[in-house]
Amino acid sequence: MADDGVLDDIDLDLVAALQRAPRASLDVLARVLDISARTVGRRYGRMLEDGLLRVICEVDWSLLTEGPPAHVWLGVEPGRARGAAEALALRDDTTHVALASGRGDIYAVVHGPTRAATARALVDEIPAVPGIRSVRTEWVLRRLTSSAAWHLPRLTPGQEEALAGHAGTAGDAPSTELGPLEREIAALLGDDARVPHSDVARMLDITESRARRTATAMFGSGLLRPRVEIEPRRLGYEVEVVLGISCPPATTTRVGTAIAAHPATRFLALTAASSTFVYDGVFRDEDELADFVSGGFPGSADVTAVECTLQLEVLKRYWRAAGGQ
């Protein structure tokens, strides 16, 4: 990696490998990428130290809050967007905050600890933030895919296959009956998905076998989803967009499946709003986005409307201040 923080081919290959297997050892990553473990360790450590990359765990909503999140578009008085966005980013109940263009001047995701807390934030607290003059809210009904499933397309099929055995597999739907141990493990791995089982055992004063067994079950059920957190612009994606996509009810499953499978898709959910879906995606440039909204995916003939919000600057991403812009 160059001194100016630009990622080179080795860095990008390492990011792509970590996306496929976030908890794989450095030796495994080195073998798959055909570079030395020392180089992998040095590159990974440098990206961590420079704040360009984190390997975190997405935590299932049932572990964090009572209900689903709300996606919010905010209209702001001229000249006050940044101040309002910074105030929102400081809130404990915002998972994502961005300065935007399109549906609103600010785009945010609000997810309070209870349904009542989220509603109170949307009805009373956020509208009172200085400068905010309008609030448009879309509640998520069902998540169809998340950023943990998005991969940088750099690896060969052979490399992807070699990493598959180190990625973990999805199992049954997660149980909502969660004990204190599961919550403690989620808290530890949420900030660093690569914490070894031995360290989890030591920090929680349990046996390593119990730590491994519990964490593996949580990964397999989808309660924890390891993922690489890195700004898309660092990977060459200059355009990040949120779309409201509409289609007739009878085509929802078909259209949703097609959009979720598109390589640009980072997040897709059904919403309780005028739009059928809320979509987050990344594109190399405006031309790629234009191709997508012009029907660049299977099933697009069923789409009846698309509303576009460009994310101009992300201030907060998955509960944390965004970095590496």
What is the b/e burial string over 260-298, where b = at least 16 CB atoms within 10 angstroms of the residue's CB?
A: bebebbbbbbbbebebbbbbbbbbeeeebbeebbeeebe
Radius of gyration in angstroms for the set of CA atoms belonging to the chain, rounded to a whole number? 20
Helices (H), 23-128: 26-33, 37-49, 61-64, 81-89, 115-120
The string of pLDDT tens digits covering residues 179-220 is 889 889 988 998 899 999 999 999 999 999 999 999 999 888
The pLDDT score that the predictor gives to residue 104 is: 96
The pLDDT value recorded for residue 90 is: 97
Between CA 77 and CA 87 the distance in angstroms is 15
Predicted confidence band of residue 5 (pLDDT cuts 50, 70, 90): low
Which residues touch 127 (CB under 8 Å, ≥6 apart)? 135
pLDDT at position 97, please? 98
Is residue 270's pLDDT more than 70? Answer: yes
* 81 CB-contact burial (10 Å; exposed 0-12 / middle 13-18 / buried 19+): buried
What pLDDT score was predicted for residue 173?
Answer: 47
For the cut 70, the answer to whether the pLDDT of residue 247 exceeds it is yes
- The answer, yes or no, to whether residue 288 has pLDDT greater than 90, is yes
- Show Cβ contacts of residue 305 under 8 Å, excluding neighbours closer than 6 positions: 244, 245, 246, 275
Residue 2 pLDDT > 50: no
- At 58-114, the pLDDT tens digits run 888 777 778 889 999 999 999 999 999 999 999 999 999 999 999 999 999 999 999
Report whether pLDDT(170) > 60: no
Task: Tell me the C-alpha distance between 79 and 8, whole Å.
Answer: 37
Identify the pLDDT of residue 191.
Answer: 86
Confidence of residue 167 (pLDDT cuts 50, 70, 90): confident
Does the pLDDT value for residue 171 go beyond 70? no
Cα 221 off chain centre by: 18
Check residue 177 and give its pLDDT: 58
* Cα–Cα distance, 26 to 293 (Å, whole number): 39
Using a pLDDT cut of 70, give the percent of the chain over it: 94
Distance CA 84, CA 97 (A): 10
Q: What percentage of the chain carries pLDDT values higher than 90?
A: 78
What single-letter DSSP state applies at residue 173?
Answer: P
